[in-house]
Amino acid sequence: MQDSPPPGEDQAGEVGFAQALLAAAQAIEPATVLRDKSDRITLQVPAAAIAKICQWLRDDPALRFDLLYDHTAIDWPAENRFELVYLLAAVLDPQPRTRDLQVMVTTSVPRDNPVIDTVCGIWPIAEWQEREVYDMFGILYTNHPDLRRLFLEDDWEGFPLRKDYEDDFMLERPT
Amino acid sequence: MTAPVPSPMASASPNPAGVRITSLEERISGTGTGSSPLATQEYFVNMGPQHPSTHGVLRLVLRLDGETVREVVPVLGYIHRGIEKIGENGTYRQFVHLVDRMDYLSALANNWAVTMVIEKAANMETNERIQAIRTIVTELQRLHSHQLWWGVFGMDLGAFTPFFYGFRDHEILTDIFEKTIGARLTMNYIQPGGVMYDIHPDFVKDVKEFLAYFKPKLREYDALVTENVIIQQRLRGVGVLSAERAVAMGCTGPMLRASGVAHDLRKSEPYGLYGRVEFDVPVGTTGDCWDRYWVRMEEMRQSVRIVEQLIDNIPEGKHFLVKPAAKIKVPAGIHYSHLETARGILGVLLVSNGKDQPYRIHCRTPNFNNLWSITEMATGGRVADLVAILSSIDIVVPDIDR
């Protein structure tokens, strides 16, 4: 028994929804693809299009992704990129739905110039979430109203969740 | 206003695009004149990091104009332990035992959230007995958490008695947990492939005795606090958050439901045995402190209802199907799973590269996202109301700092 068993008809509906969503996203940004190796519908977009795609996902009357559940980053040093993950949900929609609508959006920025547009203007909670990602990964958000460290002190050096981060307090695991 | 102080980080890190980085010093420097015609002066005051009503080590820098709060600047990180970084250096199983230190009042739900994403990603089997035990203990812990919140909420508003009443009943549940799980606070029980120990032979009897004892006590809670005129006056119309703003500010759980959005993962994406039990999702109408109070009181009644439906019908079977020594391998890719803790949605994002350790593991914690709304709710109110608002968010600081 699985924790959240997807019923058969829902799965078929999900594939149809993914294809329709992809087609609509490609009308806005032609380079959009579906990210493989993800357990849910995931749009992979170029970094330059993130604000445009997010604005559409929130404002399209058929979608209305009004809640930014989560925003975080993944460091892929071998490919010289940070992958940024946005997880969206639609909760305010007054239309009754058969299932909760959720979608993931990912994009990549180069490790040596990790700059991307903020989505604060679309979902205010992003102001706080983006500060955490800046603090831990050093992603620089343009047009962010108050970009500074969230957990660490302002004069901390380096970004701890990067794979190549080192500091004097780190301990080697005994072998 | 004084000139902004340049941040030391601006020069220390590569920033070729010249994105502007601010600093706390810059954020809270300079005081202007208030909007009052009596030429008052605004000033900054630190609330915390050591303050009884911040429930831990949370620092709020307040910009005040007399008694009026003009701005709240939360300063976090006093107990950040880098749980996500530690997770990258351990196995999947080891990570389960770190998360009970996040929101320590929802330790079992935290265990379950990590277990859920691992089980789903690695396609591990469970049985009905495991799911029933998980649902019952997690629901009891929601009750456990709300009891403590209720006691502390009273104390924050200046009433000491609720604290004792809340703790009196909280302790009975703690004893029940201790008998089965072995711990009283940071419980480690739910793990991938099952639960750590089978329930204690007395568990069913103890829980039924507790429910029979606690149901009349809820009436006592109402008589003591809910129906108290002073409490009502201090909560009604204070810290109002509309449904639209609650969603925009990333609130979930009782915070979001108090603002009138009936979003509860136990209903919309039923996990465990929640799909088989009957319960209501209480929602508020105005999103003020009173609604947040009322929603949690009602949730306690619903938790009692859920446990009552399950406690007599725990199916027979094994309490674990995967031996704890078995190595867990998760297929490469992004996996995400979430559930409803006492404070909102806890999501776990797991990135695997096919090895037996997570490549990256991230927790979307409810307290982190709920707290942000205080910057909006408290602005324009009084300092005394700020304490009520903070308490109505029901924060647990280690869950914010992780």
Q: Evaluate whether residue A27 is within a structural domain.
A: yes
Confidence of residue A11 (pLDDT cuts 50, 70, 90): low
Tell which A residues from 35 to 74 touch B, by Cβ distance under 8 Å. 35-40, 42, 66-70, 72, 74
Cβ atoms of residues B149 and B170 within 8 Å: no
Looking at per-residue pLDDT, the higher value among A94 and B280 belongs to: B280
For A92, A125, A173, B250, the CA distances from A67, given in Å and listed in that order, are 8, 9, 40, 6
Mind giving me the DSSP string for A6-52?
A: PPHHHHHHHHHHHHHHHHHHHHH-TT-EEPSSBSS-EEE--GGGHHH
Tell which B residues from 254 to 283 touch A, by Cβ distance under 8 Å. 256, 261, 263, 268-272
Tokens of A128: 């706080």
* Closest chain A residue to the Cα of B354, Cα to Cα: A37
Please give the DSSP secondary-structure letter assigned to residue B4: P
Confidence of residue A12 (pLDDT cuts 50, 70, 90): low
Of B372, B347, B371, give the one whose Cα is nearest residue B361.
Answer: B347
**Rg over CA atoms, chain B:** 22
Cβ pair A37:B332 closer than 8 A: yes
pLDDT score recorded for residue B330: 85
Residues A108, A76: Cα–Cα separation, whole Å: 10
Confidence of residue A1 (pLDDT cuts 50, 70, 90): very low
Q: Evaluate whether residue A106 is within a structural domain.
A: yes
List the single residue in B23, B261, B269 with the smallest CB-CB distance to A100.
B269
Cβ pair B335:A39 closer than 8 A: yes
Write down all domains in chain B, each with its CATH number in brackets: 83-401 (1.10.645.10)
Cβ pair A91:B332 closer than 8 A: no
Q: What phi-psi label fits residue B380: left (phi over 0), alpha (psi between -120 and 50 degrees) or beta?
A: left
Q: What is this structure's pTM?
A: 0.84
CATH of the domain at A85: 3.30.460.80
Q: What is the mean pLDDT of each run of 10 residues along chain B (402 residues)?
A: 46 66 77 56 79 78 86 88 88 88 89 91 86 92 91 86 90 91 88 88 92 91 88 89 90 90 86 89 90 92 92 86 78 90 91 88 91 88 87 87 84
Task: Please tell me the total count of domains within chain A.
Answer: 1
A33 pairs with which residues across the strands?
Answer: A44
Those residues whose C-beta lies under 8 Å from the C-beta of residue B37, and which sit 6 or more positions away, are none
A94 CA to centre of own chain: 25
Residues B399, B186: Cα–Cα separation, whole Å: 13
pLDDT mean over A150-160 = 87
Cβ atoms of residues A87 and A71 within 8 Å: yes
List the single residue in A2, A151, A173 with the smallest CB-CB distance to B120.
A2
CB pairs below 8 Å between A and B: how many? 158
Tell which B residues from 49 to 88 touch A, by Cβ distance under 8 Å. 76-77, 80, 82, 84-85
* Closest chain A residue to the Cα of B376, Cα to Cα: A124
Tokens of B242: 């509309």
Mind giving me the DSSP string for A90-104?
A: E----S--SS-EEEE
pLDDT score recorded for residue B262: 86
Q: How many CB atoms lie within 10 A of CB B67?
A: 10
Supply the ipTM of this predicted assembly: 0.82
Tokens of B129: 């007995």
Q: Evaluate whether residue A16 is within a structural domain.
A: yes
Q: Evaluate whether residue A93 is within a structural domain.
A: yes
Cβ pair A1:B128 closer than 8 A: yes
Cα distance from B190 to chain A (closest Cα, Å)?
13
pLDDT score recorded for residue B12: 47
Tell which A residues from 124 to 163 touch B, by Cβ distance under 8 Å. 124-125, 127-129, 132, 136, 138, 140-142, 144, 146-161
**Backbone φ and ψ of A59, nearest 5°:** -95, -20
Q: A4 and chain B: CB distance < 8 Å anywhere?
A: yes
Q: Evaluate whether residue A166 is within a structural domain.
A: no
Share of chain A above pLDDT 70, in %: 87
A75 pairs with which residues across the strands?
Answer: A82
Chain B residues with CB-CB distance to A67 below 8 A: 247, 250, 252
Range of the domain at A107: 10-111
pLDDT mean over A125-135 = 91
Q: Evaluate whether residue A151 is within a structural domain.
A: no
Q: Evaluate whether residue A2 is within a structural domain.
A: no
Cβ pair B76:A37 closer than 8 A: no
List the single residue in A85, A132, A153 with the smallest CB-CB distance to B349.
A85
> Strands A115-117 and A101-110, how do they pair?
unpaired
Share of chain A above pLDDT 90, in %: 27
Q: B27 and chain A: CB distance < 8 Å anywhere?
A: yes
